Structure formats: structure tokens, C-alpha cells
Structure 1
Amino acid sequence: MSTNFRRAGAALFAATLTAATLVACSSEQAPQGGGDGGGESAAASDTIVLGFSQVGAESGWRAANTKSIQDTLTTENGFDLKFSDAQQKQENQIQAIRSYIQQQVDVIAFSPVVETGWDAVLEEAKAAEIPVILTDRAVDSEDDTLYESFIGSDFVEEGKRAGDWAVEQYDGEGYKAVELQGTTGAAPMIDRQQGFADAIAGSDIEMIDSQTGNFTRTEGKQVMEGFLQKYDDIDLVFAHNDDMGLGAIEAIEAAGKVPGKDIKIITVDGVKDGMQALADGKINYIVECNPLLGPDLAEIAKKVVAGEEVEKRIVTQDEAFDQEAAKAALPDRQY
């Protein structure tokens, strides 16, 4: 019998209590989690079979996020993790989720590539009585019963903190800013843009251009190269993540300018490469987005399977760093 309390039928439970032979034959029940689960059900092994679909491997942040999940959801911690990489494609995630439903896993978790277009597959999971947990990114759905909980940062607040710092430092200097957006349609892209725009509204910082760099260093560099060719008066870059900011540094240096001085740079994430660039003065400010979501996911998954109530929205705690704070944090940085 699966650990998933939602699929534990009352009749089967009663039969188990009255017929010891059913206990003896439990190894003959269909295994959870697909063909590599060793034929042992989740209940029999006290193991939670969890299917996780990751966005991809687009950045240092995502690599740290994946490592946290894989390091936490281990056999020793009571999990059988089924992991898939969507390679930045929503259709791959939908296919993975449907595969997890077919395998009858106990829990499905995923970090959505984009916000919209999930209702159909999440309704399939709900019909199969498999709980869903969102990590890092939200979905845009009017039906919040399609998932149990959403664990992640407040992306609007991240953008606002970045914009507030920009206004505090540079308002009154007539700065021209450009924006390196994340993946179009992704929750962090939408929310960080909104938060930053709201924060600089009313200041004399002017956003003169904004384009997607898809959260990657390569595309961040390419977009920044285009900005530098198009404008000769850029004062500030707001990058939705460190990797695009690091790509912008390469483009700025190739153009003969000094990042952090000639052109100020503000980013979001706080991965080691970004923090090192901040400590070196090439980035001016970083708002953290904590990728270490594995422990939170494990805790919520165990509660959901046990039938306990969980918070619908769990906001992770993030910091922000200037140069001196980055220097102090780097020696102990986990990601």
C-alpha cells in the first residue's frame, strides 16, 4: 500500500487489519515509482517516491538548486527521487509530470519553466490523487487546489530591493539603465521586472531598454553587446540573475569600459561567481535568491504524505550584499 494517504482506500485498510495473509503478500503489490524501484512499495520500505522536474541547467543558481534537492532527497532521508531535466522546455516538463503520474509516484514537485499552461496536467495529477509541490517558481492558475504548497523567494521583493538600492545610490544623477531579463514568461522574470520598475518610479533613473537573456551568461553577454552598440550613454545594468550580469561584464570589458565604475551593475541570486565579482568591484549590488530548497521540499513532502496540513506559500529568507558584505560572506558561501 502506497505511503500516499490519498490513495489508501478504506476497504483495503480494513482487509489488511483482518487478514494477515495480505501482509505476507504485500510484496506482490505493484511497485511505486516505475521500473527502477526494486519492486518494493513505498509503504513497505517507508520510502517516499518523489518525481521532480527541474527547469534545466541554465545557471550557477540552478546547479546549486539541483544539488540541494539531490543531496537532500536521498534513500537515507526516506526518499526515492525520480529526477528529470526539462532543458528549458515546458513540453518536456509536462511530459515528465505525466510520466510521474503513470508511475504512480507519491509526490510530484517541479520548478515551472513558465507561469502559464499548467492547469491540464495538474488536473491530471489531482485526478490521480498525487499531491504537487511547486519549488522556486509559481504557476498562474485560478485554481490553487492543483498544488499543495509553493516554496520559494518573493521575486517582486527581490526586484524592489534592487531598485530601492539603485534609487538610494543613484537618484538625482540622471542615470540611463538597461535590463537583462530572465526567460520570457517565467515568474522571476515577470516579478523582478515589476519590482524594479515600481521601485525606480518617480526617480530620475530611466529604463531605456529591456531584453531577455534567458538567465544565461552567453545570452546576457550577447544582449549587452547589442545594448552597447545601440547606446553610448548606459550608466546602469539591472540583470535578473548573476549569470547574465557576468555576461554583461564580459561585454563591457570588451567594449573598453570598466564594469562597476563606468557602468554600474545590479544583479539577483548571490552565487559564488557573482559574489566574487561583487567583491572585486565589477558588480555593485546583489540581492540574494536562496537556491538551497532541498530541505524545505523534503519537509513539506513528508508532511503531505502523512496527511498533515502545510502552508500554501513558504517564502525563503534572502539577504542582499554590497562589496564589503560579499567579501565577508564569500569564505563560507555554500553555492
Structure 2
Amino acid sequence: MKKQWLFLLVLFFVASSMVFAGGAKEPAPATGSDLIVVGYAQVGAESDWRTANTESFKSTFVEANGYKLIFDDAQQKQENQIKAIRNFIQQDVDYIVVAPVVETGWETVLQEAKNAGIPVILSDRQMKLSDESLYVAWVGGNFLKEGDDSVTWLNTYLKSVGRDNEDMNIVLLQGTIGSSAQVGRTQGIVEGLAKNPHYKLLARQTGEFTQAKGQEVMESFLKAYPDIDVVFAENDNMAFGAIDAIKAVGKVPGKDIIIISFDAVREAFNKMIAGELNAAIECNPLHGPRVAEIIQTLEKGGTVAKIQYVVEEVFDQANAAARFPTRMY
């Protein structure tokens, strides 16, 4: 009987060893708790650029890549974004990403995120903060440089067509006032124009980054100033609205009035190829992969650069057709 009991005991230990060995070779499948949860407080859906930016995040932060994305559309309202951030904190997400509507008024809610131990990453637009430790990194375009590049393009273009000694009447369709894209682009444009005595900035007014408002403001500009030579529109959609307004008064956009815009979405290329838009300064919306790189570095305990600019180019009627097939947005 004793031998039989010992034999059964040996069998038990052998069987147990086989079970544990098998478990080591076949780890348990991943569950929802293994995913990195990211909350994204988006500005809204005011433009083609914003749509592409949203899609970049939605296609990057998917379960197959190890993420769960909680997306919130603020509909252009800061109070909605603040509410979304607080909801993210309550849900105990791993990271918060914000594309802020405006630059100011964020200290309180970001301090709440910091107190909760949730890193905050800024996308596209920047914030003016008294404490820079409230966010870990910002990803976006160099808006000041974009504004400067737009005036540099105008200088070069006018010289190429023999009009560099002509006086130019200029109007500016600004983006949402107080947004970092508006602030940087306006500064670059205004400072660039001031360097040339032939440039006269007749008026500037916000078109709120939307096509409808851009058209409305351009209509008022055309009534007030019949001899406009150049329009700067701080995004493509406002430029599209300006084009419609210019056509409505019997003028030819891109010829009678030079039009320069920002973002360089696919439809802007169509407008350049058609001759209706003269130039588009790129603002790359594909921030999702760059933000994912930052998160992966932080997950491994690494450090990241505070400011991370995306690569951007300048396009015009001369290169639009050749570059259009490669556009992803």
C-alpha cells in the first residue's frame, strides 16, 4: 500500500510539472487590461486638415497596436475640451492628448491630470502655461515659420513674373483668434509683409478656419476693397471660401487675385492644378504615429524632446500636379 501511495505521489508531481512547463510556453492571451488607454480631446471637425488629423489618431491607436483610444470632439469649444480631460482623468486613462482650441486657460485641468499621474501630450496647437511641467511634449507644425514661408513664396513668385516692384494690396483671413496656428501664422505673415514697402495689409479678420466663414469675410473684404491683389488664408478651407467669393464678383481666383493658403490638403492640390489657388504652405496633420513614438518611449522609461516639429513643405502651381499622387491627406 505504501508503494502504491508513493507511486501516485510521483505521478502527481510529474503531471504538475508538465502543466507549469506548458503554461510557460503558452502565455495567456492579451486582454483589454493590457492595452494602453489614450484619451484624445480633439478641437472639432472644422476643416479637411482636422479630419485627416483625427483619422491619423484613430488609425494609429487601435487594439492591434496595443491601444484603446477614447476620442472626444470638442466642437470648437474650450469648455468641452476641459470637460473631456476631466472625464479622461475619471476613467484613469494612461495618457491624455489635447489639440487645444486656444492657448490659455488650461493650468487648472492640467494640474488635475498631473496630480492623477497622467502624462499629457499636446498635438497641433500649443498652450501658454506658467508651468511647462504640466505636459510632457508637443507635436505639431512650426506656425511662425509657416507664416514666414508664405511671404517668402510671395516674394519669389512676384519676382519670377516681373511684378516685384508693384504695390500689392493684401488682405488676411485669420484662423480662430488665440489658437497657436493663428498666432504663429499671423505673426510670420505680418512681420514678413512689413519688410517690403510695396506690401500694404489692408485688413485682417478671422474666418474661424471654416469655409463658410472664410467666404463671408472675403465677401466683405471685396466690398470694402475693390483692388485686392493678394489673399492670405490661414487654412485651405477659408481659401476655398475666398475662391467662391472672388468668382461671385466676376474675378478670376489665382489670376486676378493671388491666393496663398495653409495646410495643403488634397483639395488644395486640385485647386492649384486648376489654377485657382497659387500656393499652399503645408501643415502636416499626421500626428498619430509621432505621438505613439512618444508614448512608447515613455513606456520604456525614456525621455522625450519637449518640442517636436513635423516635416513640412511649400507647394504651388508649379509642383502641385507632380506631387499630388503622393498625398496621403
TM-score > 0.5 by shorter chain = yes
Instruction: Name the TM-score, length of structure 2 as normaliser.
Output: 0.87
For the residue of structure 2 that corresponds to 1:206, the secondary structure is strand
2:260 aligned to 256, 261, 266, which one?
266
1:211 aligns with 2:199: no
1:172 aligned to 165, 186, 192, which one?
165
1:158 aligns with 2:151: no
Structure 2 CA distance for aligned equivalents of residues 128 and 293 of structure 1: 25
For the residue of structure 2 that corresponds to 1:309, the secondary structure is coil
For the residue of structure 2 that corresponds to 1:314, the secondary structure is strand
Amino acid at match of 1:60: D
**Two-structure CA RMSD over aligned residues (Å):** 1.2
2:102 aligned to 98, 114, 117, which one?
114
For the residue of structure 2 that corresponds to 1:198, the secondary structure is helix
Q: Which runs of 5+ in 1 are unaligned?
A: 1-37
2:48 aligned to 55, 60, 64, which one?
60
Matched with 2:233 is 239
Q: In terms of Rg, which structure is larger? A: 2
Structure 2 CA distance for aligned equivalents of residues 256 and 206 of structure 1: 23
Offset of residue 169 of structure 1 = 2.8
Matched with 1:83 is 71
Structure 1 CA distance for aligned equivalents of residues 110 and 134 of structure 2: 6
Structure 2 CA distance for aligned equivalents of residues 39 and 300 of structure 1: 23
For the residue of structure 1 that corresponds to 2:90, the secondary structure is helix
Matched with 1:11 is none
Matched with 1:123 is 111
Runs of 4+ in 1 over 3 A off after TM superposition: none
Matched with 2:4 is none
1:226 aligned to 220, 228, 237, which one?
220
Q: Which runs of 5+ in 2 are unaligned?
A: 1-29, 159-163
Structure 2 CA distance for aligned equivalents of residues 106 and 273 of structure 1: 36
Structure 2 CA distance for aligned equivalents of residues 83 and 207 of structure 1: 40
Offset of residue 307 of structure 1 = 2.1
Matched with 1:35 is none
Matches for 1:313-324 after TM superposition, within 5 Å: 313-324=307-318
Matched with 1:72 is 60
Instruction: Name the TM-score, length of structure 1 as normaliser.
Output: 0.86
For the residue of structure 2 that corresponds to 1:324, the secondary structure is coil
For the residue of structure 2 that corresponds to 1:76, the secondary structure is helix
For the residue of structure 2 that corresponds to 1:69, the secondary structure is helix
Structure 1 CA distance for aligned equivalents of residues 167 and 47 of structure 2: 32
For the residue of structure 2 that corresponds to 1:318, the secondary structure is coil
Structure 2 CA distance for aligned equivalents of residues 178 and 61 of structure 1: 22
Structure 2 CA distance for aligned equivalents of residues 292 and 324 of structure 1: 24
1:194 aligns with 2:196: no
Structure 1 CA distance for aligned equivalents of residues 114 and 299 of structure 2: 14
Offset of residue 202 of structure 1 = 2.2
> Is the Cα contact below 8 Å between 1:131 and 1:304 reproduced in 2?
no
Amino acid at match of 1:273: E
> Is the Cα contact below 8 Å between 1:132 and 1:148 reproduced in 2?
yes
Matched with 1:286 is 280
Structure 1 CA distance for aligned equivalents of residues 202 and 299 of structure 2: 49
Offset of residue 40 of structure 1 = 4.5
Amino acid at match of 1:179: L
